[in-house]
Amino acid sequence: MFDVVIRNGLVVDGTGTPGQMVDVAIKDGRIAAVGEVSESGVHEIDAKGLVVAPGFVDVHTHFDAQVFWDTTLSPSPLHGVTTVISGNCGFTIAPLEPEHGDYMMQMLARVEGMPLTSLQQGVPWNWRTFGEYL
């Protein structure tokens, strides 16, 4: 028995092929089967009239600082986003040399329209490398 079976939805897998009316079975948090699923699930979801798709990747976000006070990066997950990429606009807060912290905060406040006090109080600014930032 699967944990979840999603039935009757139009599955769009992101490969560019046309969507298909197939079932999706989930076991232990992973997709276990796609196609005609005869086995039942602990939870059954009727997706009739809906599109079933994998999580979306948002390649243009401005979450560089927000991630420190909004660890779920809302509202992105509410829209099906499972992965975000930050620091991709030619402006990022990592890597960061200590002497550039104040300048970076002021630039981020101006460019993103964030209150400077939010950045000063909500972001630790204690990293030098990408790895330390992550």
Give residue 92's pLDDT. Answer: 86
Phi/psi-derived region of residue 77, left when phi > 0, alpha when psi is between -120 and 50, beta in every other case: alpha
Is there a contact between 65 and 108 (Cβ–Cβ < 8 Å)? yes
Q: Which of these, 97, 28, 29, 108, lies nearest to 65 by C-alpha position?
A: 108
Prior bond to 115 cis, omega within 30? no
User: What is the structure's pLDDT at 88?
Assistant: 76
Classify residue 98 by its DSSP letter.
Answer: G
| CA 120/CA 132 separation, integer angstroms | 18
Q: 10 with 19: CB under 8 angstroms?
A: yes
The per-residue pLDDT for 46 is 98
Domains and CATH numbers, the chain: 2-54 (2.30.40.10), 57-133 (no CATH)
pLDDT of residue 14: 83
Mean pLDDT by 10 residues, the chain (134 residues): 98 92 97 97 98 91 90 90 85 90 92 92 93 93
